[in-house]
Structure 1
């Protein structure tokens, strides 16, 4: 692993620390810098894994980091 690469644990601990461990759609879209329409499309296309609670979506922060490929080595994928 490259010395400039964050481990999954470090990425989770350091990045997006002001957000909760489980985000709602608005928070996820704020992190990604996109619209909620785009956010719902990412969830529908299963590009980001989520949990559906009633009519609401809950997105674990770890899944957003995985989508962004932060904290993952190429060997582990």
Structure 2
């Protein structure tokens, strides 16, 4: 479960990078938040602090980007 959590975190990080481009903030709803939330859940179940931290940081950055863009931009 630890490896799957980290893999989901890395995939969410790639989605987060795409969501930082102008006018592509909506990508965070589909490419960053769902995998990061699932990765966080798996990290909690595996009791792996590194995986939990990675996914929590990605969730925070994606949420911040969505707030700054009004949820879409």
Q: TM-score range by the shorter chain?
A: under 0.3
Larger-Rg structure: 1
TM-score, with structure 1 as normaliser: 0.27
In proportion to residue count, which structure has more helix? 2
In proportion to residue count, which structure has more strand? 1
TM-score, with structure 2 as normaliser: 0.28
